[in-house]
A and B are shown apart, each in its own frame.
Chain A
């Protein structure tokens, strides 16, 4: 499987030398109403220079799993099992000083809401400089300031030597997001986790930020995880895609595979419920019925079965009783799916595509 115009071709999920290796990750939070299994049996890999896109609705566990990578869950209030290896180092169970060495250094995170993530009382430069000085104890304040200006310049903020002394509220939304990216990249991290980095932004600014992220990734050769619910962003950015539902991976594979030949009804639902700027106007907008399930009392069997419109195509009550394994489907070992359907490709082509892209079916 090759993807054009990409700095590195996708290696799917079989890369043994991946920089980030997550295996059988489980995250559980105790609550007064019982334990919440926020993430279950999650495994994925991201190599250097590669981008993994994680898609899912709110509450599907996409942010929780990435926060676990940074060790941001309170050990007292959460149970994390499984393994997370960053550049060979195990993160699960690592002590706080060890984690602190990783955070902002080898791994850093860009948050969705830049106004909430930046401290309103401190100048942009001070916040950037602090991130630098924490990991460069020998650096002076002047070094930190010079580095801050350099990074602001690098992310495309005009007059960085003046803007470095501004407060966050003096920046526009797009500039704040740039400042956050600058802060995330100030220590040349090998892994960057971007949690909904462009959701609050206008399309034109979103395009600027995505261009910037891609340029910087090329320059620093870092591994990137981009968490979003916008499949368009995934299509343009990601090498691999992980679709999550109710805490589990339901489909995982190279971007082109997942978005062009999806094999799981939830992915079909996501594709059919977003309108497209170029689609023909005969295309229907088909919602996924119902709401995401509560993780306090997840549905039996496949967690998607109460909302799945293709349950009738699986013999018996298999969907409601047995949780399908995440296994390769009919399209080779790289494309994993968690579904009981025997002939997903056929159903997707004849039923789903016929409604959401009538012209595409006629052409084929």
Chain B
């Protein structure tokens, strides 16, 4: 494991009392050595198919009235018809503002929630309706890394029993072989294997997150759901953990569903990204399509809001698309397009019809009536004909809705060409 050396002085938990243990001599590396162990941005490998396919997934949480008879008064539509694929051994990023349903999606895939509708196809098998008993053997293949390393580790258990617990639960190895496996895992994540009998409070935040990662790796999962794995960590530690996750991905061929609100981190880690808004995917595509060629006004606004270090060379603030107000309540989302209340280019049709997630490039789908590069959005909705309406969104008797706008995971070989305004290969 290449990562061990970079964290040699990581082995001494900084929170332990001074003098209570021998200080390990920190081994200082040269810049070249550290740089050689660091990773560049992950690349997309299309040849290996997908490990996970999510089809029209829905999660509605009931809202109950106060008082004695708690009758159901509505639903929080936390996730509403989300479809995507996670490539085998690859990673898909899920970004969006808080409350957009990205964490709920992660928890649905690990089946911490029972979905209201839709399919979760893991290696071809639908997880959505399985009972807990049927799920148990499958849980080995899908594991989760949590956001907060301070609350996700039991303070009363030693690191060894935290990491070893999955082995015991799933009875993978005999009891006397648990410890060697735990020590192996500690080494993989760059911690000292001798520290298996310590408690989480003896470790720093970055080290605790490594423990959480080791626990997730215990059963050799095929898919890891990482819910904001670095956002609770200091900047300098974030890069260590991201590099560790990239090492693990390469070595163990794990696929990642990487949930984060930090667009820059997601861009580095994930060759493919889905942008969510109020429970729906508004744009999904490969890295270039999203970050250099976004066609949805929300993605464009989100990207323009990220503060940029390079701005220092110019001074002042970057020009940005200002989004006014807050995200509307998912209990009573706006009709039609859910983004229309804050959208700078919304028109009449947006209130009447929900835009379909339309494929507009080889690996690029967007859910907008007026998709286009920034400041070049079309004047007329390109989706009107496909939906069988006129430009204002009223039903048009002469047009029939197209069958090619189904909400399904993955990408087709043919797509809607924005210039020619027809379906076809580019």
Q: A interface vs B, CB < 8 Å?
A: 3-6, 33-34, 57-58, 158, 172-175, 202-208, 210-211, 214, 229-237, 255-256, 258-260, 269-279, 281-294, 296-297, 305-312, 351-352, 355
Contact = CB atoms under 8 A, between A and B. Distances in A.
B18 interface: yes
B165 interface: no
A276 B317 contact: no
B309 A5 contact: no
Nearest to A284: B38
Contact of A276 (B234, B309, B313): B309
Nearest to A214: B317
B418 interface: no
Nearest to B204: A291
Contact of A288 (B28, B239, B265, B306): B239
A180 to B, nearest CB: 16
Given A203-B306, A285-B39, A355-B38, A308 B315 contact: no
23 contacts: A173-B98, A202-B97, A202-B261, A203-B261, A203-B305, A206-B305, A211-B322, A235-B311, A236-B307, A236-B318, A259-B313, A281-B287, A282-B40, A284-B35, A285-B40, A287-B6, A287-B239, A289-B9, A290-B9, A291-B207, A310-B30, A312-B30, A351-B31
A281 B41 contact: yes
Which of A234, A285, A286 has the most CB atoms of chain B within a 10 A radius of its CB?
A: A285
Contact of B309 (A274, A305, A311): A274
B7 interface: yes
B41 A286 contact: no
Majority secondary structure of chain B interface residues (helix, strand, loop or mixed): helix
Contacts of A211: 317, 322
Contacts of A58: 234
Contacts of A283: 40-41
A33 B306 CA distance: 42
Given A57-B236, A275-B268, A4 B316 contact: yes
A134 B41 CA distance: 54
Contacts of A3: 315-316
Given A172-B326, A289-B240, 12 more contacts: A211-B317, A211-B322, A230-B235, A232-B306, A236-B311, A276-B264, A287-B243, A290-B7, A291-B10, A309-B29, A312-B28, A351-B31
A284 B39 contact: yes
A274 B262 CA distance: 11
Contacts of A288: 236, 239-240
Contacts of A277: 263-264, 267, 291, 303, 306, 308
Nearest to B100: A202
Contacts of A230: 235, 307
Contacts of A285: 38-40, 239, 242-243, 268
Interface of B: 6-10, 14, 17-18, 26, 28-35, 38-41, 43, 97-98, 204, 206-207, 234-240, 242-243, 261, 263-265, 267-268, 287, 291, 301-318, 320, 322-323, 325-326
A186 to B, nearest CB: 23
A207 B237 CA distance: 25
Given A235-B307, A283-B40, A287-B236, A310 B204 contact: no
Nearest to A312: B30
A302 to B, nearest CB: 12
Contacts of B7: 289-290
Nearest to A3: B315
Contacts of B311: 232, 235-236
Given A285-B268, A286-B38, A273 B309 contact: no
A289 B312 contact: no
Given A275-B264, A289-B7, A290-B7, A284 B301 contact: no
A272 B243 CA distance: 13
A57 B322 contact: no
Contacts of A207: 304-305, 307, 320, 322
Nearest to A201: B98
Contacts of A355: 35, 38
B10 A290 contact: yes
B312 A256 contact: yes
Contacts of A256: 312-313, 315
B124 to A, nearest CB: 32
B97 A204 contact: yes
A282 B28 CA distance: 26
A4 B314 contact: yes
A291 B315 contact: no
A286 to B, nearest CB: 4
Given A277-B291, A306-B9, A291 B306 contact: no
